[in-house]
Structures are given as C-alpha cells and as structure tokens.
Amino acid sequence: MSRTMKFLRTLAVAAFAAPLASFASGPELHLDKAPVSFENKSLQNGAKLFVNYCLNCHGASYLRYNRLKDIGLTEDQIRDNLMFTADKVGEQMKVALQRDEAKQWFGVAPPDLTVIARARASEFGSGADWLYTYLRSFYHDEKRPTGWNNVVFENVGMPHVLWELQGEQVAKFAEKDDGHGNKTKHFEGFELVKPGKMDKAQFDQNVADLVSFIVWMGEPAQQTRKQIGFFVIAVLSLLALVSFLLKKAYWKDVH
Ligand code: HEC
C-alpha cells in the first residue's frame, strides 16, 4: 500500500471511530458546572491541595515553583509550604513517585497534569467541568483493586485521594431495559455512608479551588507562547520596515 493510501485509510478510520468513541462513553454522562475562580485566594488554596494530595503521584512538570509568585505567593511561602519535591524554587513541579513503580501499583502511570484541563476540554467541551465532576465522583467499590471506582471514569486506576475530606460514598445504579433485552446501567446518585472532615458545600468549594489551580496551571505556558509570538511578529515587522527603507535609499538615484 502506498504511503498516501495508508494515510487516507488512517484518516477514514479516525473519522468513523471518533463519533463511535464519544457515543460509547455515554450520552448519560452529566458534568457539573465548575465554579472556577482565578482569584489569588482560590488559586493559593488550590495549589496547597495540589501539592499535598496530587503531587505524590502526578507531576506538573511544565510548571516551575517560582511561577507560583504569579498567584501572590512569596518565595519564602513557596519554599516553606509547598515544596516537597524540589530544592530550588526554579525547579519544576516534579512527581515524587517513580514512573515504573507507579505503573506497577496502579496498572497505569499517573499522567502529568500540567495541561490536563486543556486535554479533557478537547474531549468534553470543558476540562474544568470534567475535572470538577471527576474529583467528586469517586465511590466505594469492592471489586476494584484500590477499593474505589468513579462514575465519569469507569474502572479508574486512581484511588480516591480526597476521601478523608469528602467521606465515603456509594453509587446507586438502576438497570434499564431498552425493550430489546439490552440492559444498561444507569447512574442514579450517591449516598454518603461515612462523613468526611468537610461537609458537601466545603468539599465542593475546595475541589473548585483545586480545579481552578489546575486550569490556571495550563495557562502560564500559553501566555509565554503568546508573548514570544508577539515578539517575533514585532521583530519581523521592524525588519520589513528597515529593508523597505534600505531599498528606497538604494534605488533613489536609479530612477
Ligand atoms: C496514589 C496516586 C495518585 C494520587 C495521589 C493522585 N492520582 Fe490522579 N491518577 C492516578 C492514576 C494511577 C491515574 C490513571 C488512572 C487511569 O488511567 O486509570 C490517575 C488519573 C488522574 C486523572 C485522569 C487523567 C486522564 O486520563 O484524563 C486526573 C484528572 C487526576 N488523576 C487528577 C488527580 C488530582 C487532581 C489529584 C490530587 C487531588 C490526584 N489525581 C492524585 C494516581 C493518583
């Protein structure tokens, strides 16, 4: 098969598979709207939760600790409260865990989270809403090796790391028959079986702050890129102007 043919075939497969895949993940997937806030207070709380509860497994390797000055923290605050995986504030937010070890424990290596909000946005429209729903949708499930499952990420390899805060919930499912003998599981709601340290409103607020921070994390890189872009355009325009003036000067006597 020629290269072009192969390419066309891949395109065709992708075009057909894409709608199927999104269909399979379910029209019943309902996402809660994330009350995202980019106020420093929310972002700082989010950063604190992130380094305490997520950075043991997930890296945010495109973000350097000293970037946290952008959300109103001083270098001392960053060093004393948030740096567990680095010695210098110029270092990236690297993960504490070894990648291959993690893979052994969870079956999958926890992905880097720097741009996760944008990655999920391409799939679900809003990365923030997906994250906000995901982090609040863990439920107790004996059948899973970690003891946890998730309504928006079935058979997820990640345990419910915020369970002490949220408490322990179970999910109620109803079976639905489509009239042709095909049974589908339908999510009906959660039931809190063991309360956590926070009530629902507090927990939701904290998850919202965490999600805000994760969304913010994907942005600084984008802003730098934009700045570089403007700089490049400015330099090119200047060069164009200079060469235009030079051309005028050189051809002045020819006419
Ligand atoms: C004990 C290790 C561990 C901790 C701590 C942890 N995770 Fe995870 N996480 C995982 C693993 C493993 C996966 C991969 C799950 C899979 O693909 O089945 C994952 C997946 C995810 C995903 C889905 C990524 C995707 O594929 O889209 C998100 C989002 C996520 N984690 C966010 C968080 C956040 C936020 C925290 C902190 C509150 C956190 N995780 C803490 C292990 C962890």
> What is the SS3 assignment for 58-111?
CCEEEEEHHHHHHHCCCHHHHHHHHCCCCCCCCCEECCCCCHHHHHHHHCCCCC
138 and 148 in contact (C-beta within 8 Å)? Answer: yes
Cα–ligand 1 centroid distance for 8 (angstroms): 35
Helical segments of the chain, H only: 3-24, 40-53, 75-77, 99-106, 116-124, 127-135, 163-166, 200-251
Pick the CATH number of 26-248 from 3.40.50.2300, 3.30.2350.10, 1.10.760.10, 3.30.70.2860: 1.10.760.10
185 and 136 in contact (C-beta within 8 Å)? Answer: no
Phi, psi for residue 17 in degrees, rounded to 5: -75, -35
Q: Indicate the average pLDDT of the chain.
A: 85
Q: What is the pLDDT of residues 1-23, one digit of tens each?
A: 566 666 666 665 555 555 444 44
For the Cβ of 120 lying below 6 angstroms from any atom of ligand 1, the answer is: yes
Instruction: State which ligand 1 atom lies nearest to the alpha carbon of 102.
Output: 12
pTM of the model: 0.76
Nearest CA residue ID for atom 35, ligand 1: 54
Phi, psi for residue 31 in degrees, rounded to 5: -105, 135
190: its two tokens: 């959660």
Q: Which long-range contacts (CB under 8 A, 24 or more apart) does 100-106 make?
A: 102/57, 106/57, 106/146, 106/157, 106/158
For the Cβ of 189 lying below 6 angstroms from any atom of ligand 1, the answer is: no
Full pLDDT tens readout for the chain, 255 residues: 566 666 666 665 555 555 444 444 444 578 999 999 888 999 999 999 999 999 888 888 888 888 898 888 999 899 888 887 777 888 888 877 777 777 777 788 888 888 888 888 877 778 899 999 999 999 999 999 999 999 999 999 999 999 999 999 999 998 888 888 888 888 999 999 999 999 999 999 999 999 999 999 887 665 667 778 888 999 999 999 999 999 999 998 876
Cα–ligand 1 centroid distance for 160 (angstroms): 9
Cα torsion at 187, 193, 196, 198 (round to 10°)?
Answer: 60
The ranges assigned to domains in the chain are: 26-248
Q: What is the pLDDT of residues 96-137, one digit of tens each?
A: 777 777 777 778 888 888 888 888 887 777 889 999 999 999
Distances 30 to 14, 74, 189 between C-alpha atoms, Å: 25, 39, 11
